């Protein structure tokens, strides 16, 4: 049944991608105001993500969901591409991702059309420009999501956080809001090292087999918990912000062993 289920879902996904590209293309071409365009992208991605969790049969259990009348710089652990669908289904947000992702065929187009903010993780010479573009987005009232581990993992632990982009909220009046994502069940069974590849994307795995496994899942349970917000007033706070966010996320992360 898995190949049949995967093939049917792949066809449905292809249709959804074409619709998504058409809708976001409208935003790129006809909405000239950058702030309005970014709000448009977050709303479109939010709508498609809500469809996506239904499509993939992901039960999203949310604790302390953020208010919709305030925007945040979200800080999260990162297990794979499903994290993006899960979080965007809860609240509209832009995502920070790498230039490498932008240059990935297929995925890069979806990221660019969805309004992602791109950073060059291998070269820090443009770090100030990258922080500025995140600050501008936050000042425009949109949520922005950062994965400070810098990569996705196999779920054994939360990696140390890279601190440089955490200062983006300083001076904007926009709080930092840590959150943790846990995948507790896959196809009705507890998530362990035996089935984590059904939801995690890590190491040198290529995207097509990872995506195929997502399509062939019968069900996934994703638990998302949001923690206390932190207000950043100075660039010098990046170490304490990183320490606080890493501590609360690690303490509430359920390792896949």
Domain-by-domain residue ranges, the chain?
2-252
Q: Which residues contact 25 (CB under 8 A, 6 or more apart)?
A: 113
- Residue 186, strand partner residues: 189, 220
Q: What is the pTM of this model?
A: 0.95
Q: Are 144 and 172 in contact (CB under 8 A)?
A: no
Looking at the predicted structure, is the pLDDT value of residue 100 above 90?
no
The structure tokens 């240059």 sit at 103
Lowest mean pLDDT across 84-88, 110-114, 215-219, 234-238:
234-238
- Structure token digits, residue 196: 């984590």
Lowest mean pLDDT across 4-8, 16-20, 175-179, 182-186:
4-8
Looking at the predicted structure, is the pLDDT value of residue 151 above 90?
yes
Confidence of residue 123 (pLDDT cuts 50, 70, 90): low
Q: Are 99 and 172 in contact (CB under 8 A)?
A: no
CA triplet 108, 111, 113: central angle to 5 degrees?
Answer: 105
Assess if CATH 1.10.260 describes domain 2-252. Answer: no
């Amino acid at each position: 049944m898995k190949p049949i289920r995967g093939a049917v879902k792949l066809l449905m996904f292809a249709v959804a991608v074409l619709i998504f590209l058409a809708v976001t293309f409208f935003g790129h071409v006809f909405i000239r105001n950058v702030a309005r365009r970014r709000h448009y992208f977050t709303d479109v991605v939010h709508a498609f993500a809500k469809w996506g969790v239904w499509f993939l049969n992901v039960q999203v259990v949310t604790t302390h969901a953020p208010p919709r009348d305030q925007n945040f710089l979200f800080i999260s652990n990162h297990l794979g591409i499903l994290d993006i669908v899960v979080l965007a289904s809860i609240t509209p947000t832009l995502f920070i991702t790498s230039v490498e992702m932008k240059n990935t065929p297929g995925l890069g187009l979806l990221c660019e059309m969805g309004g992602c903010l791109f950073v060059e993780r291998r070269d820090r010479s443009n770090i100030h420009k990258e922080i500025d573009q995140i600050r501008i987005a936050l000042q425009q009232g949109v949520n922005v999501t950062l994965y400070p581990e810098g990569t996705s993992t196999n779920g054994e632990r939360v990696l140390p956080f890279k601190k440089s982009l955490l200062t983006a909220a300083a001076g904007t009046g926009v709080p930092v809001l840590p959150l943790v994502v846990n995948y507790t069940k896959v196809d009705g069974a507890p998530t362990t090292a035996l089935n984590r590849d059904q939801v995690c994307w890590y190491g040198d795995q290529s995207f097509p087999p990872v995506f195929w496994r997502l399509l062939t899942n019968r069900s996934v349970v994703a638990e998302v918990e949001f923690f206390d917000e932190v207000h950043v007033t100075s660039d010098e706070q990046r170490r304490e912000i990183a320490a606080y966010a890493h501590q609360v996320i690690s303490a509430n992360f359920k390792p896949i062993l």
